[in-house]
Structure 1
Amino acid sequence: MSGAAAPAVADGAGLLAEVVRGDLVESVHLGHLVVLAPDGAPVLTVGRPDAVIYPRSSLKPLQAAAMLPAGLDLPDRLLALAAASHNGEAVHLDGAREILAGAGLGVAALQNTPDLPLHAPSALAWQQAGHGPEPLTQNCSGKHAAMLATCVAAGWDTATYLDPAHPLQQAVRAEVLALTGDDPADLHPTTDGCGAPLFATSLTGLARAFARLAADADGPGGRVVRAMAAHPEMVAGTGRDATAAMRAVPGLACKDGAEGVYAGVLPSGAAFAFKVLDGAGRPRPAVLAAVLRAAGAADVDGADTGALDALGDVPVLGHGRPVGGVRVPFAGVAAGARA
């Protein structure tokens, strides 16, 4: 994209998924999708791969990659949490506290939006213990803890770490531009749900960014990708499709984002990004499974194809039993095609 006004996000959208009940298509989900080969060439597109979107939490691996050169020093388990939209399970809360303690800080330093854990059993246990929504239990607390630890390491002010003019956020902005290759005019800066500055990307730019993270084998990007792939339970958690996908495909690093966004990269360097236009989470696992197969996930050494099939099996229930499912029309489309 150039710096010209971006087309409306719905312009040129394609069919990502159909919801089938009985023998009828009951609903459809439109959107945009791109799969890039290891050499960066598009091998599958749906809709407009140049669509400008807010990547939401799919941006977190890029943010984490920007923190490492500024002095963030974490073991892989906690670096994965820095790139996470975690469930708020005990392992995630303990990890966020550990990041903060390593920087000499406590949970009071967190400035992300208070919320309950995403994981329903963890949310119930948290409330039964007498707690309400807190920054620690919000899904972005690992990222915010890492941002604060970065500020301490770099000697930057921690009280203003969410200010777009703060050196940390300026470093993130520069990293987003460097990794996506997008035009600065297409950043459309705003504020994410957690309070951190958020930048728009083109869909292809987002996929390209994940590919470049992985290609930076000995640098910050490679560290983030390896940490996510090695610790998928820290990136999301119990019952989450991102964790299931990374467990099914060794070396895969993928990240979900709010409003129907997903991006990731395979060990081969093949990368992908997609956006479900209505923001729904329902079709995402089915679309993700089809995208991973299109990108070559089944050929990865050690890949669990049965787990990939299970990921893509999203039933539609009638009276508690399956009477249909979420169907992905582009599944099986030949490489190089436009669905």
Structure 2
Amino acid sequence: MIIAEVVRSGFVESVHHGVVAVIGGTSLGDVDSPFFPRSSNKPLQTVGLLNAGLVPREEADLALISGSHDGERFHVERVRAMLAATGLGPEALRCPADLPLGETPRNAWLRGGGEAEPILMNCSGKHAGMLATCVINGWPLESYLEIDHPLQKALADAVSELADEPIAALGVDGCGAPIFGITPIGLARAFLRLVEAEPGTPERRVADAMREHPELVAGTGTEDTVLMNAVPGLLVKKGADGVAAAAMAGAGAVALKIADGATRARVPVLIEALRRIGLDVPAMPEVILGGGRPVGEVRAVFG
């Protein structure tokens, strides 16, 4: 199903297909076929870490564990502090070496002569949370990314329970950790459970930490951060390859996947879906440039 189109100089030059699962409104496309939610799974996995005994230094750490950080200084320093609190250092991380995800921190890092490091990788917060949970339980550290590790079994159980469906497929995410396949409607259902859970439960702790510290979920000026700051109570988490999920207690939830993985269509489609469940969401235009000036836009098309 076409859910977005690229318009340049008034001419529709291309379209993006995909699915939008909506709780509290009308879904578009096949929302019952499983896919890999990528980093949109992270908040669900953080619930699994808490269920497995994770004791964060402070609640704000849960936002970073659930996030895909831009690699700003405050992100990296917090990951380092999380590791140190468990007696570990950055060398314990099994995510690949990378540069900061955000353009501004990446350019600053390179100008300073920096090179790729695992702690800069956008998933290093999640990995630090995984390691902390292993330390608490006395589980092996070297193999924490293996699918048969007790940590990963606990995370799979949490994702399945929150989505209220079995894990449909297992894969390996970009950071090297297992990724669990569920349906778009299952992902939306899981996000709604996070925001509508009772205060103090693992689900609500994760949702509250992310909404109270959105800059730790993503970074300065990044879409997740901007949306959660603009709409109090909204929970948002993007994922790679054109994935996003969001929920608001009392309104509903959405989960989307752009079929070709295009990130440029993600925000327009997400905003339109949120407006369809009655939320007042600010415009965040996805502008097409020509010669350095705006000549078009990517816009949602909900048939």
* TM value normalised by structure 2: 0.96
Choose which of 140, 150, 156 in structure 1 pairs with 2:139.
156
Q: Counterpart of 1:208 in structure 2: which amino acid?
A: R
Q: Deviations over 1:121-159 (max 9, x none)?
A: 211222333331111000000000010011111221212
Partner of 2:13: 26
| Unpaired segments ≥5 residues, structure 1 | 1-13, 38-42, 299-304, 331-338
Asked if 2 retains the 8 angstrom alpha-carbon contact of 1:56 and 1:192, the reply is yes
Residue identity matched to 2:204:
G
Provide Cα deviations, 1:93-126, integer angstroms capped at 9, x if missing partner. 0110111111111111000011100112211222
C-alpha distance in structure 2 between counterparts of 1:209 and 1:81, whole Å: 19
The answer to whether 1:49 aligns with 2:31 is yes
2:170 to 177, 182, 189: 189
User: 1:138-157 residue pairs with structure 2 within 5 A?
Assistant: 138-157=121-140
Amino acid at match of 1:137: L
Aligned residue runs from structure 1 range 92-171, under 5 A: 92-171=75-154
Once the two structures are superposed, residues 61-106 of structure 1 have per-residue CA deviations (whole angstroms, 9 ceiling, x without a partner) of 0110000122212222211000010000001101101111111111
2:186 to 197, 202, 205: 205
> Hey, what's the Cα distance between the residues in 1 that align with 2:105 and 2:135?
30
Residue aligning to 1:248: 230
SS of equivalent residue, structure 2 residue 148: coil
1:314 equivalent among 286, 290, 295? 286
Name which of structure 1's ranges 314-323 and 271-280 shifts more when overlaid on structure 2. Answer: 314-323
Q: Is the 8 A contact 1:70 1:153 kept in 2?
A: no
Please report the RMSD computed on the Cα atoms of aligned residues, expressed in angstroms. 1.3
Partner of 1:281: 263
Count of matched residue pairs = 301
Which segment is superposed worse, 200-209 or 44-53?
44-53
Q: Residue 196 of structure 2 contacts residue 249 of structure 2 at CA under 8 Å; is this kept in 1?
A: no
Assess if the C-alpha contact under 8 Å between 2:215 and 2:225 holds in 1. yes
Distance in 2, Cα, partners of 1:91 & 1:294: 35
Percent identity for Structure 1 against Structure 2: 46
Calculate the TM-score normalised by the size of structure 1. Answer: 0.86
Q: Which runs of 5+ in 2 are unaligned?
A: none
CA displacement, residues 236-286 of structure 1 (integer Å, 9 cap, x when unaligned): 012311111111111111111111000111132511100000101111111
Query: Cα–Cα, structure 1 residues 269 and 168, in superposed 2: closer, same or farther, change >3 Å?
Result: farther
Alignment pair present for 1:214 and 2:195: yes
- 1:217-296 map, 5 Å: 217=198, 218-268=200-250, 270-296=252-278
- What SS does the corresponding residue of 1:81 show, helix, strand or coil? helix
SS of corresponding position for 2:26: strand
